[in-house]
Amino acid sequence: MIIVMENGATDAQIEGVVHKIKEFGLDANVSRGTERTVIGAIGDERKLDQEMIDALPGVENSMHIVKPYKIVAREWHKQNTVIDIRGIPLGGNQIQIIGGPCSVETPEQMEASAMYVKQAGCRLMRGGAFKPRTSPYTFQGKGVEGLDLFRKAADKYDLPIVTELMDVRMLDTFLEYDVDVIQIGTRNMQNFDLLKEVGRINKPVILKRGMSATISEWLMSAEYIAAGGNHNIIFCERGIRTYETYYRNVLDVTAVPVLKKETHLPVIIDPSHAGGKAWMVPALSRAAIAAGADGLLVEMHPKPCEAWCDADQALNPDELKSLMGELKGIAAVIGRSI
């Protein structure tokens, strides 16, 4: 960390900053210029809180020189991390399209969904048993019964399952049903207690971006999971909230190359919740793959009009199939496969 002292800072104030740095076990290097004194803190600067340093008398400002996140940073891990999901690689050359309904509804709907997802060529399936809904009066998900329906339908087609965990009290149940990938939703991106708990297990975790989270906040949330020992983290951009109301959210495609630079972990895109309308999904999906995403999380329902949740944005089985074909073409152009 570099600390710039105010013009006219006294020796006692400079000494005060040096003392504070040493209290945290770091060394200090004082560089006295003609107008300003600059202090360099040498050691693990993550221990130093910028706000604490800035509050000291005589300090003008301070800045970290290393990233506040470590395990997830590409700085410390140059190669891409490829996450193994029951033998399916995510983060490597092969792009993974995770398809399935917004929510688990009935055994028939899940059976049909699994069949269509498989037929389209997807290797993983999504579906929500616990739904974070804006209104407490709308359908909240089938709960544990939904996990059971999902597991049975997906197993029949040998599809690993991706489903959202909202409440830490359900974690044991998720492990009991052997959920293959645990999704942390946009509303829980900074639920730090939940992040710590999924950090203690070894299941892959999809960490969706908070709808108003910065890249740095998102990376720090991933660091929470990683710090617990679970390094199987997949970032998922799902649209951010802006002043625009034409679409549900604004898909932040820029986040893909930025994350690819900042982290070695896989990055996927959810085009369904970004656009909020089925007709936008193919265009957003193509953009995501072209930008370098390692996969997609796409909503598909056997009969979108009858979906209990997010009916407007679900593709029908034929649309998913033709989207897969288009994406194969784009993947080939950038030297990847689907």
Residues in contact with Mn ion by the rule CB under 5 A: 102, 310
Alpha helices in the chain (DSSP H): 11-23, 50-54, 107-120, 144-156, 171-176, 192-199, 215-227, 255-262, 271-275, 281-291, 317-333
- Per DSSP, 212 falls in state T
The residue at minimum Cβ distance from Mn ion is 102
Residue type, 332: A
β-sheet bridge partners, residue 335: none
**Choice between 102 and 181, CB closer to Mn ion:** 102
Question: Token pair of 63, please?
Answer: 């800045």
Shortest separation between residue 101's beta carbon and Mn ion, angstroms? 8
Shortest separation between residue 150's beta carbon and Mn ion, angstroms? 14
- Per DSSP, 316 falls in state P
Asked whether 99 and 318 are in contact (CB, 8 A), the reply is no
**Choice between 151 and 238, CB closer to Mn ion:** 238
**Choice between 62 and 272, CB closer to Mn ion:** 272
Q: How many residues does the chain have?
A: 338
Shortest separation between residue 306's beta carbon and Mn ion, angstroms? 15
Shortest separation between residue 310's beta carbon and Mn ion, angstroms? 4
**Choice between 102 and 162, CB closer to Mn ion:** 102
- Which strand ranges, in their side-by-side order, compose the sheet holding 37-42? 27-32, 37-42, 2-5, 59-63
Among all chains, which residue has been given the structure tokens 């140059």? 78
**Choice between 8 and 132, CB closer to Mn ion:** 132
**Choice between 67 and 208, CB closer to Mn ion:** 208
Shortest separation between residue 38's beta carbon and Mn ion, angstroms? 51
Please, what is the Cα angle at 104 between 107 and 283, to 5 degrees?
120
Shortest separation between residue 248's beta carbon and Mn ion, angstroms? 10
